[in-house]
């Protein structure tokens, strides 16, 4: 018999990639292929009502959902959901920490796939500006990132818009995919989502994609 969990994972992986692409290519949700700018041109920098839930809500709209509960805040020890220069495989520990803290799933699809962000208290528009632009609201004087980046970076963000090739840093929000429910067996799979729609799979997801759904004899 085929591995049902593996089939479910591959379906979830494919859905996530397809839905993120849909969000970026439809001007109903975002502008200029930028997850940090709403369709009406409003920047999602955390200073507007609904900034922190907007990505979750728009993503949920594209899924066949059983339940939607987009959160605006959560504290999870050990989260690593919003970092600069994140490496492949770094998302899995964050999702595991969230799972161990009995995180509340934000989106549950009709197929029984659970999606949740590690740190919903951050919006894509915050800090998503050119690493070459120095601004007191986003970067230190020497251009390095502050130890505690502020969730509002209007000046830096607006400067980055003038340089499209430099408009996105390697800043990701971690979204977790759980195929069998919170703390029900399989660990969650971590994905890094960037503001321009780029997705980096965690190590476990890459490993599972290489597996065959048909067991060997």
Is 128 inside a domain boundary?
Answer: yes
* 138-189 tens-digit pLDDT: 545 444 555 555 544 544 444 444 443 344 444 578 899 999 888 888 899 9
Is 216 inside a domain boundary?
Answer: no
Is 215 inside a domain boundary?
Answer: no
Domain residues for the domain of 43 are 4-209
Is 168 inside a domain boundary?
Answer: yes
* 197-206 tens-digit pLDDT: 889 898 899 9
pLDDT, residue 94, reads: 81
Q: Judge whether 121 and 73 are in contact, CB under 8 Å.
A: yes
User: How high does pLDDT run on average in the chain?
Assistant: 75
- Give the pLDDT band (50/70/90) at residue 3: confident
Partner residues linked to 23 by β-bridges = none
Q: Judge whether 182 and 99 are in contact, CB under 8 Å.
A: yes
Is 214 inside a domain boundary?
Answer: no
Q: Of 49, 97, 93, nearest to 72 (Cα)?
A: 49
- Give the pLDDT band (50/70/90) at residue 71: confident
Q: How many domains does the chain have?
A: 1
**Angle formed by the axes of helices 51-62 and 4-25, nearest 10°:** 120
pLDDT, residue 83, reads: 38
Is 217 inside a domain boundary?
Answer: no
Is 125 inside a domain boundary?
Answer: yes
Q: Is the pLDDT of residue 46 over 50?
A: yes
Task: Enter the pTM of the model.
Answer: 0.77
Is 37 inside a domain boundary?
Answer: yes
CA–CA gap between residue 84 and residue 76 (Å, rounded): 19
* 107-130 tens-digit pLDDT: 999 999 999 988 777 777 654 443
pLDDT, residue 33, reads: 85
Count CB-CB contacts under 10 A for residue 192: 26
CA 188 to chain centre: 14
């Amino acid at each position: 018999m085929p591995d049902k969990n593996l089939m479910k994972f591959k379906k979830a992986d494919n859905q996530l990639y397809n839905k993120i692409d849909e969000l970026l290519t439809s001007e109903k949700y975002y502008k200029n292929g930028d997850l940090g700018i709403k369709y009406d041109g409003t920047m999602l920098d955390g200073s507007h009502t609904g900034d922190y839930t907007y990505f979750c809500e728009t993503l949920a709209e594209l899924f066949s959902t059983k339940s939607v509960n987009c959160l605006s805040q959560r504290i999870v020890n050990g989260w690593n959901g919003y970092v600069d220069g994140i490496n492949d495989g770094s998302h899995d520990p964050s999702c595991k920490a969230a799972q161990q803290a009995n995180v509340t799933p934000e989106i549950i699809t009709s197929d029984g796939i659970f999606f949740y962000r590690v740190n919903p208290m951050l919006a894509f528009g915050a800090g998503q500006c050119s690493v070459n632009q120095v601004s007191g609201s986003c970067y230190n004087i020497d251009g390095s990132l502050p130890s505690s980046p502020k969730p509002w970076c209007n000046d830096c963000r607006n400067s980055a818009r003038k340089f499209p090739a430099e408009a996105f840093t390697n800043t990701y929000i971690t979204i977790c995919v759980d195929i069998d429910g919170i703390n029900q067996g399989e660990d969650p799979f971590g994905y890094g989502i960037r503001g321009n729609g780029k997705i980096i799979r965690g190590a476990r997801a890459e490993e599972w994609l290489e597996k065959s759904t048909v067991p060997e004899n």
